[in-house]
Amino acid sequence: MIIVLLGPPGAGKGTQAQRIMDTKGLVQLSTGDMLRAAKKAGTEVGKKAKEFMDAGKLVTDEIVIGIIADRIEEDDCKQGFLLDGFPRTVAQAEALDELLKNKGLHVDVVIEMKVNDESLVDRIAGRYTCAECNQGYHDTNLKPQQADVCDSCGSTNFNRRSDDNRETVIERLATYHAQTAPLLPFYEQKGVLRTVDGMADIDDVTVQINDVLNQL
Ligand code: AMP
């Protein structure tokens, strides 16, 4: 099964992707995570991506399409995968269709996580992840059970993203509306778009997503 999670930054895509990954056994492909890893490792791709990421702009289609084209060839993608943060432009969606078509595949469902822009800045400003296993947390909405200890792996090291500051978030939201929101009619026309209420409780959003997936 090939699933796309679509929504603005802070909609909860990463959190829900982790849950779907656990229950459906699908691998999560996050271009944001891949680009951050490339940036940290100082690769050519990372160096090219840095400037765009720090400014809250999109990295070029060529770079991210190349990353995904390579990644979906790996063995763990054979049973399907969950895309989180890709595609983000119509050109990327068209390229994805082409890549999948060559393998006799197609996107099965696109789940839009609908949220109010006003809530996003606070959501993003409070979030952090485990430095070891990448489990996501939030200062008020999703704290670890034991303070400062990761529920999943017991690590006490956590990271906050450098682009999760108010100024960059506002730019990332503008980028979403200008370049990514046009994917909604694109996928609606293909009959694969489903929308869930991303403003609901985290567990409730998971229930809504599972309902969508169980209907496929
Ligand atoms: P994310 O973790 O998905 O919020 O992505 C963080 C940043 O990585 C974005 O603000 C973009 O600069 C870049 N990025 C991630 N995915 C893409 C994509 N599909 N196309 C272009 N840029 C991307």
Residues with CB under 6 A from ligand 1: 9, 31-32, 35, 52-53, 56-59, 64, 85-86, 88, 92, 172
Tens-digit pLDDT profile for residues 191-201: 999 999 999 99
Label residue 122 by pLDDT band (50, 70, 90). confident
The answer to whether 87 and 29 have CB atoms below 8 angstroms apart is no
Exposure string over 178-207, b if 16+ CB within 10 A, otherwise e: ebbeebeebbeeeebbbbbebeeeeeebbe
What is the 15 CA–ligand 1 centroid distance (Å)? Answer: 16
Tokens matching residue 213? 């997936």
Local confidence band at 42 (pLDDT 50, 70, 90 cut-offs): very high
Question: The sheet that has 27-30: what strands, in order across it?
Answer: 27-30, 81-84, 2-6, 109-114, 193-197
pLDDT digits (tens, 9 = 90+) for 146-200: 999 999 999 999 999 999 988 899 999 999 999 999 999 999 999 999 999 999 9
**For residue 11, what pLDDT is reported?**
94
13 is catalytic: yes
Question: Over the stretch 105-115, which tens digit does the pLDDT of each residue have?
Answer: 999 999 999 99
Round the average pLDDT of the chain to a whole number and report it.
Answer: 95
pLDDT, one tens digit per residue, over 57-92 is: 999 999 999 999 999 999 999 999 999 999 999 999
User: Which of 36, 39, 123, 127 is labelled catalytic?
Assistant: 127
Whether pTM > 0.85 for this model: the answer is yes
For the CA of 56, the closest atom of ligand 1 is 10
CA 9 – ligand 1 centroid, Å = 9
Predicted confidence at residue 118, as pLDDT, reads 86
Question: Which residue has a Cα nearest atom 8 of ligand 1?
Answer: 32
pLDDT of 119 over the 90 cut? no
Q: Atom 2 of ligand 1 has which residue's CA nearest to it?
A: 32
To the query of whether residue 166 is one of the catalytic residues in this protein, the response is no
Q: Which pLDDT belongs to residue 123?
A: 87
> What is the reported pLDDT for 34?
96
214 Cα: distance to centroid of ligand 1 (angstroms): 29
